């Protein structure tokens, strides 16, 4: 079975309305190109000073049996204007969405969760993953990021039901931890979503290498949406949103600036790669028995 999928590349700032308009435009273009599922980057709604994400954070409904986010006459559910707008976008475009880096209200005051949200084509939330690995670094270019200061980590691996089969959910810095993706494969994933806001400093050396490695190790497609360009202050992202296949071949990649890339997921390719080079079955260390 073949399914066309897309990844978005954008430059989010502190202007939420402008960011959401960009998402709507690029998702619409990717859907018009035939994408049935579109991955949107981390921090898509807001990438600015830290206090801003606390102000716009929203509650998320439980994915279990979730109804569309805006059905006339139905009882109110947790959510907010950003989530509702993305639900409407999914319905309007006819494409499932992976909202990478959705700012979800945390359990503690002054904290949010960095959530990866799977919304189906009817606008219903079907899966929510909370980013497990938080990005606390001092980079050589002077960039200092301490995600844990305002973000609560998640703890559960999450696999969503996508049009082509099982899709493993992750966010950005998770890509440096291959055991997470092996866990997603153990749960049935044949494709991995990696919405990101990868820094320029690390991205130019590590982005392509890490994504291709995860695809090869997990023998899965990788769908990596990306932030690009200058956001605020010293914060700059590398870009190069891409899609690669289970052999590690890059099928589509964004160039400079905002845009999208699309490619086909072919389940027979996954079967062929896993059958001809059965490294997942040969696992001993960390194998699920």
Instruction: Give the active site residue among 36, 42, 244, 258.
Output: 42
DSSP sequence for the chain: -EEEEEEEEE---S-HHHHHHHHHHHHHHHHHTT-SEEEE-TT-S--SSHHHHHHH-B----STTPPPTT-TTPPP-S--HHHHHHHHHHHHHT-EEEEEEEEEE-SSTT-EEEEEEEE-TTS-EEEEEE--S--EEE-TTS-EEEGGGTEE------EEEETTEEEEE--GGGGG-HHHHHHHHHTT-SEEE--B--BHHHHHHHHHHHHHHHHHHHTSEEEE-EEEEEEETTEEEE---EEE-TTS-EEEE--SSSEEEEEEEEHHHHHHHHHHS-TTTT--TT---
What percentage of residues in the chain have a pLDDT greater than 70? Answer: 93
Q: Phi first, then psi: give them for residue 241, nearest 5 degrees.
A: -55, 140
What percentage of residues in the chain have a pLDDT greater than 90? Answer: 80
**289 confidence band (pLDDT: 50, 70, 90):** low
Report which of 276, 279, 215, 206 is spatially closest to residue 250, judged by C-alpha positions.
215
Say whether 36 is catalytic: no
Rounded to two decimals, the pTM is: 0.93
What would the mean pLDDT of 95-116 be, rounded to a whole number?
Answer: 94
* Angle formed at CA 105 by CA 197 and CA 184, multiple of 5 degrees: 55
Instruction: Give the active site residue among 172, 244, 253, 254.
Output: 172
Question: What average pLDDT is seen over the chain?
Answer: 92
Q: What is the pLDDT of residues 158-197, one digit of tens each?
A: 999 999 999 999 999 999 999 999 999 999 999 999 999 9
Q: What is the pLDDT of residues 29-79, one digit of tens each?
A: 999 999 999 999 999 999 999 889 999 999 999 886 555 555 444 434 567
Instruction: Give the active site residue among 53, 91, 105, 131.
Output: 131
Residue 227 near residue 239 (C-beta atoms within 8 A): yes
Say whether 42 is catalytic: yes
What would the mean pLDDT of 198-208 be, rounded to a whole number?
Answer: 95
Residue 177 is predicted with a pLDDT of 97
């Amino acid at each position: 079975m073949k399914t066309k999928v897309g990844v978005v590349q954008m430059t989010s700032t502190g202007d939420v309305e402008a960011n959401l308009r960009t998402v709507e435009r690029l998702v619409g273009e990717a859907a018009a190109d035939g994408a049935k599922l579109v991955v949107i980057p981390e921090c898509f709604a807001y990438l600015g000073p830290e206090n801003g994400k606390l102000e716009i954070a929203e509650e998320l409904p439980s994915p279990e049996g979730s109804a569309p986010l805006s059905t006339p006459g139905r009882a109110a559910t947790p959510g907010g204007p950003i989530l509702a707008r993305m639900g409407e976008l999914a319905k309007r475009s006819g494409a499932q969405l992976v909202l990478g880096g959705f700012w979800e209200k945390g359990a503690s005051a002054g904290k949010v969760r960095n959530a990866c949200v799977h919304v189906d084509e009817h606008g219903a939330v079907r899966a929510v993953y909370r980013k497990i690995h938080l990005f606390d670094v001092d980079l050589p270019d002077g960039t200092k990021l301490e995600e844990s200061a305002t973000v609560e980590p998640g703890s559960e691996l999450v696999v969503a039901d996508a049009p082509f089969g099982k899709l493993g959910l992750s966010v950005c810095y998770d890509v440096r931890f291959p055991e997470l993706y092996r866990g997603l494969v153990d749960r049935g994933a044949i494709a991995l979503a990696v919405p990101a806001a990868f820094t320029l400093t690390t991205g130019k050396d590590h982005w392509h290498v890490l994504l291709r490695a995860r695809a090869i190790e997990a023998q899965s497609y990788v769908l990596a949406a990306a932030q690009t360009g200058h956001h605020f202050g010293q914060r700059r992202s590398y870009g190069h949103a891409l899609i690669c296949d289970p052999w590690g071949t890059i099928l589509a990649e964004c160039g400079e600036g905002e845009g999208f890339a699309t490619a086909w997921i072919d389940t027979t390719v996954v079967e062929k790669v896993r059958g001809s080079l059965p490294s997942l079955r040969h696992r001993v260390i960390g194998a699920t028995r």
